[in-house]
Amino acid sequence: MVSTIPQARQLVNHRHILVNGRIVDIPSYRCKPRDIITVRDDPKSRSLVQNYLDSPHHEELPKHLTLREF
């Protein structure tokens, strides 16, 4: 979870994001319905996302997405 598209693309490029348990490093990757998007189980990856979630600036999650805290 980040606040801009360039930040999201950077998370993907730097291999912090998994889709269905596989690392995705292509920002243009097209997810399908019911794909499970997770943050890599790595302290650096988790802290990047957790810092954003803890900030008062983060947006509300769209209704079609579900967030399970780690």
Q: Domain segments of the chain: what residues?
A: 5-54
The answer to whether the pTM exceeds 0.85 is: no
pLDDT value for 58: 67
Residue type, position 31, single letter:
C
pLDDT per residue, tens digit, the chain (70 aa), is 677 889 889 999 999 999 999 999 999 999 998 999 999 999 998 898 888 778 776 677 767 777 777 5
pLDDT value for 54: 83
pLDDT value for 70: 59
H/E run at residue 19: strand 17-19
Q: For the domain 5-54, what is the CATH code?
A: 3.10.290.10
Instruction: Give the Å distances, CA to CA, from 13 to 18, 28, 55.
Output: 11, 10, 23
Residue (of 56, 16, 55, 10) closest to 37 by Cα position: 16
